[in-house]
Amino acid sequence: MDIINDTIADRLLLDHPFYKRWEEGSLDFAELAPYAEQYRHFEAQLPDFLQTLAERLPEGVAKASVLDNLRDELASPVTHLELFAGFAEAVGATTAQPSAAMAELVALYRDSANSAETSFALGVLAGYEVQAAAIADSKGAGLKRHYGLDGEAIAFWQLHAKLEEDHAAWTLEASQEADQTAFLAGARASAEAWWAFLDERELLAA
């Protein structure tokens, strides 16, 4: 855990101005709809990323961990993408094409899953997942405290605040079977892509 935290120390997403404004309630409510419209593209591709990566991994801890993550994403009776719709609807999100930064982020996940370098792809997954529980907890709390949202509107974030701790642990366990140089390169690439997406949100707000 320490080595990955060192790798992404300057790209911890809760330190980004966009999430800081979300946490403190200075984010304009109107910014949440376009955010949700874009984030939905990430959430929509995640099962395919996990499925493709699992198929490329040999039997072992890494494959089992990715499949566990996939099962959570597709949980019955409500998948995570369907749960996300509660948040998107509450903030007035409609549909939109992927922005430039989101297109780059989705491409990173897609291309890494299809690459022969599965260690890099595991790093891409870890670069976000080691941060995701704290991010989801902050988002859900901020939405409730500052924007008056509750129930289905924040259920996606509340669930991920709990689940992502397991996902991070599984991914870090899987990394023990990975080439560490490639794994850390993937984690860095992931953190950079997410940071660029939040930079884009700030530019649009300005």
Percent with pLDDT over 70 in the chain: 99
Phi then psi dihedrals of residue 37, to 5 deg: -60, -35
Fold of 12-205: Heme Oxygenase; Chain A (1.20.910)
The closest alpha carbon to 180, from 2, 62, 37, 4, belongs to: 4
Residue 202: the pLDDT is 97
Q: Is the pLDDT of residue 50 over 80?
A: yes
130 and 4 Cβ atoms separated by less than 8 Å: yes
Read off the DSSP letter of residue 15: G
The total number of residues shown for the chain amounts to 206
CB 188 within 8 A of CB 128: no
The amino acid at 206: A
Dist CA 204 CA 79 (whole Å): 30
Across the chain, mean pLDDT equals 94
pTM above 0.75, yes or no: yes
